[in-house]
Chain A
């Protein structure tokens, strides 16, 4: 099965190859004229041969004529089959018959068209998707940045970088910051610090609803869906120009009604589908037979001169989020600690209370037990208790000095005194 198509191609090649391009109308005339010239020469040569010399020359001439005759037949045959052609896998073919475009669309494969002045085959690349990158609004930062990279640039870029932490951004905001990201390096470009304006011819841009300047690149992908309409309506070159214009026009209209923040930020994706729809409408007005498959906004940025300010806004957002995150972290660390501390306090209090109570109960019940004994023999119990207490206490006390209260006044003799 695999070898079949290649066999088909090699078999078809010799027939198709010589006449791959549709022949210009004059070609057939030329071959006709060539044939006529050949015949005339042959006739004159034969006349000379008859009038003058030998049979050998006549025989030679005869074989030449024979050869020319076959050549002529071969040429005629070649001409008649010259319309046979092959349509490539990416394309479809249309036929102009005597100038009139035939409505049949020929799919890839062999096409048996009539020879040159009658049929003209036009191939239309319908199956391929064509991509068109629209750079006429492209910011010039790239050329400027690449060409004259000044020494302070890396340093400044490095200073900026820490502020810019994509990980801290939420998905909604990351769209805008990613768009802004390429501008980071450009912050350091002295060209914009000097404050050069945008020249309307040199620099492409348009205005937003709030009169801000935006630049961008777009990529349009299109397909030829109606080859007949397309062949009638436009050449390839015009098609590209018209599509580019339609896309720019759509973007201009959309941007003229959109604030810059909505265009650069999260609104970008919503914007894209609207652009494609507008551009497609614009193309349909012209009946081009073209479908705009996609219109991608590759880049939509503020001018390089203000990128620094835009980046600063992004950094400010990041900073704000960082500050809030830090406060959240603080809260996340502090609150559990406080909670456990409070828990501890409560439980310590509970325990202390319980202990107090238990001690009171213990002591009380001990006392009550003792009291029962005491009632039986008060003096004995008291003496015993007192003695026990003194036995326990007195050994711990360093000096035990007991002064009789009713004895003579106390004389203190200090050292060295007589």
Chain B
């Protein structure tokens, strides 16, 4: 074995030892986590800055990692009484993260233990707040009365110091996801909703009918007016024409009344005498008196 070979082998051995040592004697803290280092069970360091850190190998030091990213939880559904003694269900969601890893480790140990603790904190805080709030401040047609946002704010302010002091948890956001009522109450709400809709439906129908009737009545009235005015015009026109005609006739009549009457009578005779007309006249009557003086026969008895 040459000297070079020996050196190479020693170097390789050293590298292997260095890698092993590195693996056992160091650990990393990522930017989105925090670490509590315990030595034989008792915490010695809390690391929140990312980077590479040294440790004693396994049985001596233990690394407790905590994800410092956000966690999300919903509280369990439970009824609460408002100030005006109405039951509401106002579930709360909490966005939280580990802020003090040491305290978190000591108080809770694991992330999965946190929701239950936060739940009871949040529920009691919410119940206390609701006890000071009227139902009309939760839902209201008047935005000025609405206190939902203020309630969320107050709840956050209450929870934040408590959670931090007790569990090392930073409460980032607290909010309501829904407002619900106990199951039995919803039946009354449905009843009222149906009644309300019934009123609306009746009103729409009545309005529709009224509008339609009005339109029909208006139409009829307009039609009547239209016809009446046309009729009026017609009467007037006829009247005027009659008057004019009368005047014209009168002018003619004035020229020679006797002859006029004579001509008119002949005209009338022409017009009145039709087929099947039977005339019974004596010969004195004009124009049959023209026949007088002729050879008159005795009249035949039939008169039909």
Taking Cβ atoms with an 8 Å cutoff, the residues of A that contact B are 25-26, 28-29, 32-33, 35-36, 39, 96, 98-101, 117, 120, 136-137, 195, 197-201, 204-213, 231-235, 238, 241-242, 245-246, 248-249, 252-253, 256-257, 259-260, 282, 285-286, 288, 302-303, 305-306, 308-310, 312-313, 315-317, 319-324, 326-328, 330-331, 334-335, 338-339, 341-343, 345-346, 348-350, 352-354, 356-357, 359-361, 363-364, 367-368, 370-371, 374-375, 378, 382, 385-386, 389-390, 392-393, 396-405, 407, 410-414
Contacts and interface: CB of A to CB of B under 8 A. Distances in A.
A253 B148 contact: yes
Contacts of A316: 200-205, 208
Interface stretch (B37-45, B113-121, B161-169, B222-230): B222-230
A339 B226 contact: yes
A26 B259 CA distance: 146
Given A349-B233, A364-B252, A334 B282 contact: no
B187 A330 contact: no
B287 A96 contact: no
Given A367-B263, A382-B262, A399 B202 contact: no
B68 to A, nearest CB: 8
B249 A404 contact: no
B175 A282 contact: yes
B279 A100 contact: no
B279 A401 contact: yes
Contact of B139 (A98, A207, A411): A207
Interface string B153-185: 000000000000000000011011111111111
Contacts of B255: 367-368, 371
Contacts of A317: 204, 208
Given A205-B178, A209-B141, A382-B262, A345 B233 contact: yes
B178 A252 contact: yes
A199 B183 CA distance: 5
B282 A348 contact: no
Contacts of A285: 172-173
Nearest to A26: B23
A393 B209 contact: no
Contacts of A345: 227, 230-231, 233-234
Interface in B1-49: 9, 12-13, 15-16, 19-20, 22-23, 28-32
A308 B197 CA distance: 9
B132 interface: no
B234 A346 contact: yes
19 contacts: A197-B186, A198-B183, A245-B72, A256-B140, A282-B175, A309-B197, A317-B204, A320-B209, A322-B208, A327-B216, A331-B218, A342-B226, A343-B230, A352-B238, A371-B256, A382-B259, A389-B269, A397-B279, A401-B300
Contact of B211 (A327, A352, A407): A327
Interface hub of A199, A342, A386 (most chain B Cβ within 10 A): A342
Interface of B: 9, 12-13, 15-16, 19-20, 22-23, 28-32, 50-52, 67, 69-72, 77, 89, 93, 95, 138-141, 143, 146, 148-149, 172-173, 175-187, 189-190, 192-194, 196-198, 200-205, 207-209, 211-216, 218-220, 222-223, 226-227, 229-231, 233-235, 237-238, 240-242, 244-246, 248-249, 251-252, 255-256, 259-260, 262-263, 266, 269-270, 273-284, 287-288, 290-292, 296, 298-304
A356 B50 CA distance: 117
A320 to B, nearest CB: 2
Nearest to B31: A101
Contacts of B304: 399
A385 B266 contact: yes
A206 B211 contact: no
Secondary structure dominating the interface of B: helix
B20 A360 contact: no
A385 B275 CA distance: 21
A221 B276 CA distance: 101
A101 B279 contact: no
B178 A349 contact: no
Nearest to B211: A324
Nearest to B256: A371
A302 to B, nearest CB: 7
A402 B282 contact: yes
B16 A33 contact: yes
A195 to B, nearest CB: 6
Contact of A235 (B69, B218, B279, B291): B69
B70 A238 contact: yes
A312 B178 CA distance: 28
Given A316-B205, A341-B227, A404-B296, A324 B28 contact: no
Contact of A323 (B211, B266, B270, B280): B211
A36 B23 CA distance: 15
A232 B215 contact: no
B183 A245 contact: no
